[in-house]
Chains A and B, each alone.
Chain A
């Protein structure tokens, strides 16, 4: 085992996959010379050259659309869109083109693209650089959505995403890049569509993903001291969704909270909560609850920025309310 940062794990995944397959290439703003804003693509240019590690102009709609074309002729692009906020500029290539091609063509062609991007609040970047927009992509049939929380998962899932023949939106969290974790030295892959129970427990299930996983684990540790046992299910991929693991945990504990950083309204949590209530109602002790971001643009000031997304305390309070009613 080696200890790697999240960004180093992603970097290793890119190196391994680009060495394995000469058709894999990456492009985006500042991915080559600069090595990426978060250093995820560092060193790639030197090994693979400017034909496979491509700096683009700030022209998201065209270079994301270009990835669709490149994929259609057999290449395997990994596109970096610097902030998930900027993916609003690429709705056509993502939603109308990449997500639809295989279906619309009657299965004549696959679109093997990974759209790497990052989201989330916490760095004082304010309303246009801090959003959590995964619900938009979760809503679109034809896209896969991956949101890893740890270096181990980031590495194994990015490699699988690159090998997957469907378009994958791979959403990193800006607060995770420097987080560290154990990663096997040998090569490994993690399947898309398989959740990971990050902590086993009996009293309450927390279903979560991305950076919120770390907050849920922190809450679980605090609760453990109070004699309350939490199970933390990290979805890792939203699409495909590992319903089986979610439902199994829900049936076991009978009390479920879905926690995410994105706004509560129209969020992924609402959909997962409904799914659990539709399919495991008889095993529940009460309604599934959601702990989620406030329905607000993310503010700049640190105090109100913190108040806009769920804290560990909020998770703890949610659990206590659920346990003591």
Chain B
């Protein structure tokens, strides 16, 4: 058994799926499946030379975005990361505009100016991915502060990783959120690697959720591969936040299915750990809770949506150099 074996983490007991509406289960299944297929397609397009720069697939971690975004609904805000396609999809993004952005086309969410690491979709309250590890944590904190200034009844989810939790802004931001009693949920996606550095090497205290105590907020550790558990716990945290009871730190344990980015073969990852995590694939766990014919129907819909997205992106124009230059002072 490797250091990152899920068997060491007490992730086996499951909450009852009956606590969750079928509509929510199906929505989460759709988003997990769509993210999985989207990422696999991106990797294929990357290898074919259609995508340049960095590409950080969210493979294996999809349940966290799906559960958290379902819990806060369309009204909630999210702040995403460099590994952000799953957050974007689960927050309701149009696959066409996402794919166009990742292919750098003028029709993409950011007109081809952002790319994979900077997709935002403000219309759906996705404030954006971030190329700086930890960069989104204070932004999410501030979005929650803005909510208080606006006096709107919303909540923010900050997605970030075990790597970001060792950056200074993590501590500063949790402290701010706690003393200001802000409606924000810190969703720590512990995939056990900061780029290539294992969490137990980089963190003095490996139970990252325990850091919540230092900042006087509730901390919840859960199975990040189980969308239902992510959904239920995020919902509780969101209710607390909206009722003025302040922030929550959630540590969602998970594992990347591959290396840090598309060109990283991930040889430093323990193969047995990886196999055990893959046996607990978020897609498999959730599919056990929904009816098979509904799953197949969703999959067929997503497959055709994705095919249309790729066609849309590949047929879209490149950004005009003239327009780009005309915008510069």
A101 to B150, CA, bound (A): 21
Evaluate whether A62 and B176 lie within 8 angstroms (CB atoms) in the complex, with A72-B143, A106-B109 already known.
Answer: yes
From A56, A66, A107, residue with most partner B Cβ within 10 Å: A66
- Please pick, from B109, B135, B138, B147, the residue contacting A63 in the complex, using a CB distance under 8 A: B138
Is A322 an interface residue, CB under 8 A from the partner?
A: no
- Please pick, from A25, A69, A101, the residue contacting B138 in the complex, using a CB distance under 8 A: A69
- Please pick, from A56, A101, A107, the residue contacting B176 in the complex, using a CB distance under 8 A: A56
How close is A83's CB to chain B, nearest CB, in angstroms?
Answer: 18
Q: List the A side residues contacting B111 at CB < 8 Å.
A: 106-107
How close is B125's CB to chain A, nearest CB, in angstroms?
Answer: 8
What is the chain A residue whose CB lies nearest that of B125?
A73
The reply to whether B120 and A105 contact each other, CB–CB distance below 8 Å, is yes
From A92, A108, A240, residue with most partner B Cβ within 10 Å: A108
The reply to whether B114 and A65 contact each other, CB–CB distance below 8 Å, is no
Evaluate whether A66 and B145 lie within 8 angstroms (CB atoms) in the complex, with A97-B135, A97-B139, A105-B120 already known.
Answer: yes
From B79, B135, B138, B148, residue with most partner A Cβ within 10 Å: B138
- Please pick, from A68, A73, A74, A109, the residue contacting B120 in the complex, using a CB distance under 8 A: A109
The reply to whether B149 and A52 contact each other, CB–CB distance below 8 Å, is yes
The reply to whether B113 and A69 contact each other, CB–CB distance below 8 Å, is no
From A62, A68, A69, A75, residue with most partner B Cβ within 10 Å: A69
Q: List the A side residues contacting B43 at CB < 8 Å.
A: none
What is the chain B residue whose CB lies nearest that of A63?
B176
Evaluate whether A104 and B141 lie within 8 angstroms (CB atoms) in the complex, with A62-B173, A65-B173, A74-B146 already known.
Answer: no
A116 to B180, CA, bound (A): 22
Per-residue contact bits, chain B 165-193, to A (CB 8 Å; 1 contact, 0 not): 00011001101100110000000000000
Q: List the A side residues contacting B146 at CB < 8 Å.
A: 69-75, 77
The reply to whether B176 and A57 contact each other, CB–CB distance below 8 Å, is yes
A61 to B113, CA, bound (A): 26
Is B260 an interface residue, CB under 8 A from the partner?
A: no
A106 to B128, CA, bound (A): 11
The reply to whether A75 and B110 contact each other, CB–CB distance below 8 Å, is no
Is B140 an interface residue, CB under 8 A from the partner?
A: yes
From A71, A75, A96, residue with most partner B Cβ within 10 Å: A75
- Please pick, from A52, A61, A108, the residue contacting B172 in the complex, using a CB distance under 8 A: A61
Is B77 an interface residue, CB under 8 A from the partner?
A: yes
How close is A59's CB to chain B, nearest CB, in angstroms?
Answer: 4
Is A93 an interface residue, CB under 8 A from the partner?
A: yes
Per-residue contact bits, chain B 100-121, to A (CB 8 Å; 1 contact, 0 not): 0000000011111110001011
Is B198 an interface residue, CB under 8 A from the partner?
A: no
Q: List the A side residues contacting B113 at CB < 8 Å.
A: 103-106
A97 to B77, CA, bound (A): 17
Evaluate whether A75 and B138 lie within 8 angstroms (CB atoms) in the complex, with A57-B176, A104-B118 already known.
Answer: no
A-facing residues in B28-53 (Cβ within 8 Å): none
A65 to B328, CA, bound (A): 26
- Please pick, from B122, B138, B145, B180, the residue contacting A61 in the complex, using a CB distance under 8 A: B138
Q: List the B side residues contacting A72 at CB < 8 Å.
A: 122, 127, 139, 142-143, 146
| Minimum-distance CB pairs A-B, first 3 | A65-B138, A69-B142, A66-B142
Pull 28 A–B residue pairs with CB atoms less than 8 Å apart, ordered by A: A52-B149, A54-B180, A57-B176, A57-B179, A61-B168, A62-B137, A62-B175, A62-B176, A65-B139, A65-B141, A66-B138, A69-B127, A70-B142, A70-B143, A70-B146, A73-B147, A74-B146, A92-B169, A97-B139, A101-B120, A104-B110, A104-B114, A105-B114, A106-B112, A107-B111, A108-B120, A108-B121, A108-B122
**Chain B residues packing against A (C-beta within 8 Å):** 77, 79, 108-114, 118, 120-123, 127-128, 130-132, 135, 137-150, 156, 168-169, 172-173, 175-176, 179-180, 328-329
**Chain A residues packing against B (C-beta within 8 Å):** 23, 25, 51-52, 54, 56-57, 59, 61-75, 77, 92-93, 96-97, 101, 103-109, 141, 240
Known: A25-B149, A93-B135, A104-B110. 15 other contacts (CB 8 A): A51-B148, A51-B149, A52-B149, A57-B172, A64-B138, A70-B146, A71-B146, A72-B142, A75-B149, A77-B146, A97-B135, A104-B114, A104-B128, A105-B110, A109-B122
